[in-house]
């Protein structure tokens, strides 16, 4: 009877203070929560809380002091349930700041119980007695599933994947992502108990399902295209919708990998239908995908495992589309740095080096072989011939099957012979 009276006396004020005036409870609800006040009155924190219940201006500082004084596991369990319910109600009402605070307080309370002793002793018997250990762990791991599921539902709604041209709703989406990240970080370094692992794994799985919602929608939209008739604007709009959602999801590596592979697949598909040049797809696609490759390369490690070929492919396409020979060479060199031995990069760079050799040989051909100044020949001709020889040598190393190698070797030998004879003749004079 005393516990019921105390619940009716204290709990309405306590609930009002902890919810910032958002939540009120009647006497019946207070009586159902009597176990909370009965446990709290035995805690050291009660001496701080009781005199401040009628002092609205003292909150939430009072709660921080009470936490320092300490709560028993039983009280923490009651408060974990309360703050979890408060979060679910405030989040559903889009009261984001109060929902965030309630979520963080709920996690703090659950974390105080992460050694499992109280939960296994007091909570599991109310679910079922004599549960096998594996089933008991599953029950404990699911205690925070409700808030995680709510975050997933709100985030999916905010992503607006079925309204692809519309922008995601930024505030509710970031609210959900921040709380998922907070949940993982709160329990990341805790003991390997069922509750902690359940929250960490649950938050990670929600994030993965959000990523999958974007990947599935992008994949479905690309599969519906007819590459024989699709227009550039239509293609780019699909990728812009994906990139917009990836940006709001903070560009997680799995989505960067998806964008890269999907974009490359589109270029290859258009090339098969011989429409890549007609549409001019390469430049705008490279512009959209290069930030993905930059982020992935900065991460390195497992985030780029198996991606070297794809990362290099994008550089090759970039080089193919470039007009200036320096820009083309830079892109092909970059591709080979990412993926040594990349066949297309090696082949294209080999032909480009022969193009450079040809430019050097054309310069020598423009200089008369009968000039009378040997010093001019040495100063102007020898560097050009040396450069051409180096370009041809590296071109052969990169791609021995290059069908222009013999031609440029012959041209080089002819120029070397011509100027060697001239220089020898001038020296004799």
Whether residue 361 contacts residue 408, with contact meaning beta carbons closer than 8 Å, is answered with yes
pLDDT of residue 62: 94
Give the HSE-up count for residue 306: Cα atoms under 13 Å, Cβ half-sphere. 6
Does residue 423 fall inside a structural domain? Answer: yes
Whether residue 113 contacts residue 119, with contact meaning beta carbons closer than 8 Å, is answered with yes
Residue 108 token pair: 């703090």
Residue 191 token pair: 């003991």
pLDDT of residue 131: 57
Closest alpha carbon to 195 in 130, 122, 120? 120
Write the DSSP symbol of residue 120: I
pLDDT of residue 193: 81
Q: How far apart are CA 53 and CA 10, in angstroms?
A: 8
Q: How far apart are CA 232 and CA 426, in angstroms?
A: 62
Which pLDDT tens digit goes with each residue over 249-265?
999 999 999 999 999 99
Residue 306, class by beta-carbon neighbours within 10 Å (0-12 exposed, 13-18 middle, 19+ buried)?
A: exposed
Those residues whose C-beta lies under 8 Å from the C-beta of residue 381, and which sit 6 or more positions away, are 364, 367, 419
Does residue 384 fall inside a structural domain? Answer: yes
Which pLDDT tens digit goes with each residue over 110-155?
998 876 677 777 766 655 555 566 677 788 888 899 999 999 999 9
Query: Can you count the helices (H) and strands (E) in the chain?
Result: 22, 0
Does residue 375 fall inside a structural domain? Answer: yes
Q: Where in the sequence is the domain holding 389, given as residue range(s)? A: 360-428
Give the HSE-up count for residue 13: Cα atoms under 13 Å, Cβ half-sphere. 17
pLDDT of residue 115: 67
pLDDT of residue 117: 74
Does residue 188 fall inside a structural domain? Answer: no
Does residue 294 fall inside a structural domain? Answer: no
Q: Please identify every stretch of the chain with a pLDDT value under 70, giving residue numbers as ranges.
A: 1, 115-116, 123-134, 190-191, 303, 368-378, 421-429
Task: Give the long-range contacts of residues 252-255, CB within 8 A, separation 24 or more.
Answer: 252/207, 252/211, 253/295, 253/296, 253/299, 253/303, 254/208, 254/211, 254/215, 255/211, 255/214, 255/215
Domain tally for the chain? 1
pLDDT of residue 379: 74
Residues 214-239, buried b or exposed e (16+ Cβ, 10 A)?
bbebbeebbeeeebeebeeeebbebb
Does residue 324 fall inside a structural domain? Answer: no
Q: How far apart are CA 4 and CA 11, in angstroms?
A: 10
Does residue 371 fall inside a structural domain? Answer: yes
Does residue 219 fall inside a structural domain? Answer: no
The predicted model scores a pTM of 0.85
């Amino acid at each position: 009877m005393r516990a019921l009276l105390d619940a009716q006396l204290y709990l309405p004020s306590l609930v009002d203070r902890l919810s910032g005036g958002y939540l009120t409870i009647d006497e019946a609800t207070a009586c159902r929560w009597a176990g909370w006040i009965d446990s709290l009155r035995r805690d050291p924190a009660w001496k701080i809380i009781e005199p401040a219940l009628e002092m609205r201006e003292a909150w939430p500082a009072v709660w921080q002091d009470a936490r320092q004084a300490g709560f028993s596991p039983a009280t923490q369990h009651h408060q974990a349930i309360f703050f979890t319910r408060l979060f679910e109600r405030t989040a559903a009402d889009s009261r984001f700041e109060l929902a965030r605070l309630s979520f963080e307080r709920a996690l703090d309370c659950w974390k105080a119980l992460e050694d499992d002793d109280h939960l296994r002793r007091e909570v599991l018997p109310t679910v079922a007695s004599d549960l096998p250990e594996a089933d008991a762990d599953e029950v404990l791991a699911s205690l925070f599933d409700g808030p995680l599921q709510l975050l997933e539902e709100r985030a999916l709604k905010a992503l607006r994947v079925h309204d692809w041209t519309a922008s995601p709703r930024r505030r509710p989406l970031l609210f959900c992502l921040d709380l998922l990240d907070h949940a993982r970080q709160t329990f990341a370094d805790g003991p390997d108990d069922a509750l902690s692992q359940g929250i960490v794994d649950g938050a990670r799985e929600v994030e993965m399902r959000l990523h999958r919602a974007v990947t599935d929608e992008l994949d479905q939209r690309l599969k519906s295209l007819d590459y024989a008739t699709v227009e550039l604007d239509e293609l780019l709009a699909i990728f812009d919708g994906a990139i917009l959602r990836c940006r709001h999801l903070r560009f997680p590596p799995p989505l960067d990998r998806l964008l890269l592979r999907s974009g490359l697949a589109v270029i290859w598909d258009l090339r098969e239908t011989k429409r890549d040049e007609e549409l001019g797809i390469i430049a705008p696609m490279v512009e959209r995908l290069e930030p993905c490759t930059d982020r992935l390369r900065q991460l390195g490690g497992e985030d780029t495992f198996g991606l070297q070929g794809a990362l290099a492919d994008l550089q090759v396409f970039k080089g193919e589309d470039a007009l200036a020979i320096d820009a083309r060479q830079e892109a092909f060199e970059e591709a080979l740095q990412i993926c040594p031995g990349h066949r297309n990069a090696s082949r294209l760079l080999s032909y480009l080096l022969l193009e450079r050799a040809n430019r050097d040989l054309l310069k020598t051909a423009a200089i008369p072989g009968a000039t009378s100044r040997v010093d001019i020949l040495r100063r102007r001709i020898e560097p050009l011939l040396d450069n051409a020889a180096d370009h041809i040598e590296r071109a052969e190393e990169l791609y021995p099957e290059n069908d222009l190698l013999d031609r440029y070797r012959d041209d080089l030998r002819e120029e070397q012979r011509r100027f060697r004879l001239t220089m020898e003749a001038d020296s004799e004079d």
